[in-house]
Chain A
Amino acid sequence: MTTSRKHDAGGLPGDFAIWIFIFAELLVFGVFFLAYAFSRANNVELFNESQLHLNRIAGAANTVVLLTSSYFVVRAVAAIRADNARRCGHWLLSAIGMGSVFLVIKMFEFGEKFSAGISLSTNTFFMFYLSLTFFHFMHVILGIVILAAVLLKARSGGYSAANHTGVETGASYWHMVDLVWLILFPLVYVIH
């Protein structure tokens, strides 16, 4: 990887380094998903029974929230490509807002489970449910931090139509967080 590669990472949007990170993260989640699926194959009844206790409405609502947030980030990238840093900032702020809604819904869900006495040691299904969603939860927080950093720089006029690698970098990471949830939701909440 040389400096020239930064601008020509095979065209990948944003900084090439974030993509190495994204691929590594996807690998971690992929391994986690398959571990869930194959453990389930050995414990079908336990998984099916435990899955009924999940709050599917909260899960679906969070999917909608994250998708919308991702869409807002797309708008933010479009805005900065049109050299409109102000609008870019507004879209980013909306995306962060949606990310925060996700966190609130998720915390409500966690609270519901914890008050029902469910923990990592309850059974294998809840171990996976809590581990996967908590691990993803941490990624949402990290994504929000990254978007916030991009927002601050956008506000101070750090990006333009000619130079907005940072916006694309943050956007790519955020879409990854969304992407992972798109698989997590049907896998853990829906199919049985």
Chain B
Amino acid sequence: MTKTPLIRPCTLVWLILLALTGLTWFIGESGITGMAIVGFVLATTLFKSQMVVDYFMGLKHVRAAWRGLLFGYLLLVCGMIGVAYYISLT
């Protein structure tokens, strides 16, 4: 079986996810805020989650509808969180 095609991108994804987690943590520590920051963190979160869906769960390789369903879910959740923060900031 070909194992590198599965493992190599996943190792990279794992490292990217760790780096982005560090970035999110740093933003939290620095205490900076504002809609742009919140939007950035939420976009990072959306990206990170979709990476897990695509590579870890492996949905990149299945029928697009399933991936789309999960993307829709993540977009809805992150988007609505953004809306809630937007309401509170204005």
Contacts and interface: CB of A to CB of B under 8 A. Distances in A.
Interface of A: 10-13, 23, 26, 30, 33-34, 37-38, 40-41, 44, 56-57, 59-60, 63-64, 67-68, 70-71, 73-75, 77-79, 81-83, 161, 171-172, 175-176, 178-179, 182-183, 185-187, 189-192
A11 B49 contact: no
Nearest to A60: B25
Nearest to A68: B14
A71 B24 contact: no
Contacts, number: 137
Nearest to B87: A41
B56 A175 contact: yes
Interface of B: 1, 3, 6-7, 10-11, 14, 17-18, 21-22, 24-25, 27-29, 33, 37-38, 41-42, 44-45, 48-49, 52-53, 55-59, 61-63, 65-66, 69-70, 73-74, 76-78, 80-81, 84-85, 87-88
Contacts of B65: 10
Nearest to A61: B25
B1 A81 contact: yes
A12 B21 contact: no
B81 A34 contact: yes
Contacts of A186: 24, 28, 41-42, 44-45
B58 A64 contact: no
24 contacts: A10-B65, A12-B62, A12-B66, A34-B81, A38-B84, A60-B21, A60-B28, A71-B11, A71-B56, A73-B56, A74-B6, A74-B14, A78-B10, A79-B3, A82-B1, A175-B53, A175-B57, A182-B49, A182-B52, A185-B24, A190-B25, A191-B28, A191-B41, A191-B42
